[in-house]
Each structure stands twice: as structure tokens, then as C-alpha cells.
Amino acid sequence: MATLKEMMAKRSPESRARIESRAAEIRQEITLARLREELSVSQTHLAEVLGVKQPSVAKIENVDNDPKLSTLRRYIAGLGGELTLDVTLPDGKRIALSL
């Protein structure tokens, strides 16, 4: 059986880009919902904290949504956290960006 790396190597660059983009979207959706659930916070409660309605929280967590950094910052702050952003350069060096 071929590994994922081997299967991806056989695909065109365009196909790999589409797959990687979709995987990133899915990871974002899972991460936001999982983060909230890990803290035992419901969408309804988080919506109250943020001063929005529950469907707005669901929209932020939805894979089809592309939230602004300011929205993510508010979402994370509503959970009691702080959003940080790191950049990984081609040489592997990581740099923290100030938000």
C-alpha cells in the first residue's frame, strides 16, 4: 500500500495544492470547535460572551468561512485565550508576529 506522501507525489501540482488547501480548511474547523469543546464551552455560551448569536459562532467554526484575524482574536479571547501567530520560513526558522 502506498503512503500518503507517495500518493501525493503522483498528483499534479494543482491537485496537490487543492488537497492541501482543503486539508488546511478542515484542520481549522476541527481546531476551533475542538478548542471550544476542550474548554467545555457551548456555542451558545461563547455567543453570549462575544455578544453575538449562536449561529455566528457556528459560522466562525464552519470550514466555508474565512474569518479575519480580528474575528479569530475575539473568538479566542472569548474563550479566555490569546491568539498568537508564528511564521515558519523556508529555512525552518520561526518568527512570532505581533498582532
Alpha carbons 78 and 25: distance in angstroms, whole number:
22
Domain residue ranges in the chain: 16-97
Question: Domain 16-97, CATH 1.10.260.40 — does that match?
Answer: yes
- Within the chain, residue ranges assigned H as helices are 4-9, 13-38, 43-50, 54-61, 69-78
Give the mean pLDDT of 77-94: 93
Give the mean pLDDT of 50-69: 91
Residue 52's closest CA among 39, 67, 63?
67
Structure confidence at residue 2 (pLDDT): 84
pTM of the entire predicted model: 0.67
Structure confidence at residue 24 (pLDDT): 81
pLDDT digits (tens, 9 = 90+) for 4-39: 888 889 999 999 999 988 888 777 667 888 899 999
| Average pLDDT, rounded, for the chain | 90
Alpha carbons 50 and 71: distance in angstroms, whole number:
10
The x, y and z cell numbers of residue 61, run together, are 467554526
Give the mean pLDDT of 53-77: 92
* Percentage of the chain lying above the pLDDT 70 cut: 97
